[in-house]
Chains A and B, each alone.
Chain A
């Protein structure tokens, strides 16, 4: 469960390049819901995700995750509640460390790290069995450096890392945007199965309206730092991309150009 109330964030306040990225954003996500987020460039999607993860601290408003007020906590303090997959395959993993070491890091997410060995034999077996579910043959490459993997493989491992420890919310920040279409489809499929299996509360940002409607059970649209559209249930089930576009135009009272939103 996550509840955001009146979040605001302004970059470079009081200067000519002042940007009001979040302007009183409200959103409540019940336990176990999979929400997709769309919005044009500069709508505040990334800022919102960074505000939830703690990479950014909001100026005003309140953020609760699983009933706990985390508004003022920084990223590493919240890590026990928030799991994350970044857009850039390089960002979510350490390329200089091995696959095993990356998984071991994720295995201790949000927990105390002591002086015992980062991975023992039983954990190694656990990592192998988890990697085998990806069907990428990575279960035999525990000692390989992360940097040797392709972008798609790295995102798949990132997803796995995000699901090794329980989390209250999983943040997916356009995590397929840097991949080719086939790999993107594979990673999305994997996302669906992991989210479903572990019943994760999930927030997935995407540039594609198609993806936004095909995945998850609720879609929100951000515009100028606010939630301007929120569809779920039957309404969403019967929706197609043009309907979504039309709704957006009605809500904003303005036509949006095609290049503002990427269509499939």
Chain B
């Protein structure tokens, strides 16, 4: 594999690390199965691309893309919390609706950004040779800031309330936590991060395209699951690290699989590779258990209550 394709995989991996963090918040922290990502990722990209073409500052455009994503997440959460629509269904409705909205925003199936300024332009400048490693460097910075902010938030009073909402909503309410508001805020945050990824993605790929969102949620979930498998942890700063590493590893494995000529895989096999990789990551913990027998009972409380249930 060439250095260029390795850096390319790293670049996309860093962007999808943001998606993974968003998916981590919805699926793992809030326990809210959310497919909005397939719509909010291109929404962030579309808003950013259109604003950049209109001559706005790239960072402002990126921020507005993020805001649009937050609104999408808010809508999904609102459909569930206020109107009682099933979580998965609510997110599918928003995702489908966003397809049309994205087309409206872009005004065409794609918006090219060739020659337009991006958030990377001030750093890359005219040094096109260094672009391949300067762009990932900027993304590392963005990812680090986002990760650290999340780490600080999730050990704060409010962040702890959000985690309790996902873990045990009844207990959370008994502690005075407005769980509905927490779900609304958390889903907005989750999709804001996914839209941020979309906004950065269009600026690295030279434009927005209506089909760029397809499979975002699968990649995000894959990253989260791979991360949990390679780094099983409870502490929140390790959980966010695991999700980010999962995204990087996932893109790297994809690049390796596509570049290894002897396997004979080509670009059209991407989704199959994804399915196989995620399937493998899902069964890996089971394989690990079988190879390494347990040293001690992991959860005596659960074991005891199970016994009680059985006695009844």
List residues of A whose CB falls within 8 A of some B CB: 53-55, 74-77, 79-80, 82, 84, 86, 89-98, 101, 104-106, 108-111, 113-118, 145, 147-151, 153-154, 178
Main DSSP-derived SS at the B contact region: helix
Tell me whether A116 and B157 are in contact in the complex, defined as CB-CB below 8 angstroms, given that A91-B168, A151-B301, A151-B304 are known contacts: yes
List residues of B whose CB falls within 8 A of some A CB: 153, 155-161, 163-164, 167-168, 170-179, 234, 299-302, 304-305, 308
B301 surroundings in chain A (CB, below 8 A) = 89, 95, 147-151, 153-154
Name the residue on B nearest A88 (C-beta). B305
Of the residues A76, A90, A115, A148, contact of B176 by C-beta under 8 Å: A76
Of the residues B160, B171, B173, B304, contact of A150 by C-beta under 8 Å: B304
B171 surroundings in chain A (CB, below 8 A) = 86, 91-94
Rounded to whole angstroms, the CA-CA distance of A118 and B163 in the bound complex is: 12
Are A105 and B164 touching (Cβ within 8 A)?
yes
Name the residue on B nearest A145 (C-beta). B234
Are B157 and A113 touching (Cβ within 8 A)?
yes
Are A97 and B163 touching (Cβ within 8 A)?
yes
- With A115-B157, A150-B304 known, 5 other A-B pairs at CB within 8 A are A54-B173, A90-B305, A117-B155, A148-B301, A151-B304
Shortest CB distance B203–A (Å): 30
Shortest CB distance B151–A (Å): 11
Are B164 and A91 touching (Cβ within 8 A)?
no
Are B179 and A148 touching (Cβ within 8 A)?
no
A117 surroundings in chain B (CB, below 8 A) = 155-157
Name the residue on B nearest A74 (C-beta). B173
B155 surroundings in chain A (CB, below 8 A) = 117-118
A109 surroundings in chain B (CB, below 8 A) = 174-176
Are B300 and A150 touching (Cβ within 8 A)?
yes
A145 surroundings in chain B (CB, below 8 A) = 234
Most buried by A among B173, B179, B300: B173
The 9 closest A-B pairs by CB, nearest first: A79-B176, A113-B157, A75-B173, A110-B176, A94-B167, A118-B160, A76-B173, A115-B156, A113-B158
Question: Can you show 27 pairs from A to B with CB atoms below 8 A apart?
Answer: A75-B170, A76-B172, A76-B178, A76-B179, A91-B171, A92-B171, A93-B168, A93-B171, A101-B160, A105-B177, A109-B174, A110-B175, A113-B158, A114-B157, A114-B158, A115-B156, A115-B158, A117-B155, A117-B157, A118-B155, A148-B299, A150-B300, A150-B304, A151-B305, A154-B301, A178-B305, A178-B308
Are B234 and A96 touching (Cβ within 8 A)?
yes
B308 surroundings in chain A (CB, below 8 A) = 178
Tell me whether A55 and B170 are in contact in the complex, defined as CB-CB below 8 angstroms, given that A108-B175, A109-B175, A151-B305 are known contacts: yes
Name the residue on B nearest A92 (C-beta). B171
Are A91 and B160 touching (Cβ within 8 A)?
no
Of the residues A53, A118, A153, contact of B156 by C-beta under 8 Å: A118
Of the residues A79, A97, A98, A101, contact of B173 by C-beta under 8 Å: A79
B173 surroundings in chain A (CB, below 8 A) = 54-55, 74-76, 79
B304 surroundings in chain A (CB, below 8 A) = 150-151
Shortest CB distance B249–A (Å): 24
Most buried by A among B157, B158, B167, B175: B175
Shortest CB distance B33–A (Å): 17
Tell me whether A76 and B156 are in contact in the complex, defined as CB-CB below 8 angstroms, given that A89-B301, A91-B171, A92-B171 are known contacts: no
Rounded to whole angstroms, the CA-CA distance of A262 and B148 in the bound complex is: 55
Shortest CB distance A136–B (Å): 13
Rounded to whole angstroms, the CA-CA distance of A114 and B163 in the bound complex is: 14
Of the residues B164, B175, B177, B299, contact of A147 by C-beta under 8 Å: B299
Rounded to whole angstroms, the CA-CA distance of A78 and B210 in the bound complex is: 47
Tell me whether A114 and B156 are in contact in the complex, defined as CB-CB below 8 angstroms, given that A94-B163, A96-B234, A145-B234 are known contacts: yes
B167 surroundings in chain A (CB, below 8 A) = 94-97
Are B174 and A94 touching (Cβ within 8 A)?
no
Shortest CB distance B163–A (Å): 7
Rounded to whole angstroms, the CA-CA distance of A77 and B305 in the bound complex is: 32
Are A79 and B175 touching (Cβ within 8 A)?
yes
Are B174 and A108 touching (Cβ within 8 A)?
no
Are B160 and A105 touching (Cβ within 8 A)?
yes
A110 surroundings in chain B (CB, below 8 A) = 175-176
Rounded to whole angstroms, the CA-CA distance of A84 and B301 in the bound complex is: 21
Name the residue on B nearest A101 (C-beta). B160
Shortest CB distance A180–B (Å): 9
Rounded to whole angstroms, the CA-CA distance of A249 and B234 in the bound complex is: 54
Tell me whether A80 and B170 are in contact in the complex, defined as CB-CB below 8 angstroms, given that A94-B163, A149-B301, A151-B304 are known contacts: no
Rounded to whole angstroms, the CA-CA distance of A55 and B171 in the bound complex is: 11
Of the residues B168, B174, B234, contact of A84 by C-beta under 8 Å: B174
Rounded to whole angstroms, the CA-CA distance of A145 and B161 in the bound complex is: 16
Name the residue on B nearest A98 (C-beta). B234
B300 surroundings in chain A (CB, below 8 A) = 148, 150
Name the residue on A nearest B181 (C-beta). A76
Shortest CB distance A249–B (Å): 29
Rounded to whole angstroms, the CA-CA distance of A115 and B308 in the bound complex is: 40
Shortest CB distance B224–A (Å): 16
Of the residues A92, A105, A147, contact of B161 by C-beta under 8 Å: A105
Are A94 and B168 touching (Cβ within 8 A)?
yes
Shortest CB distance A215–B (Å): 22
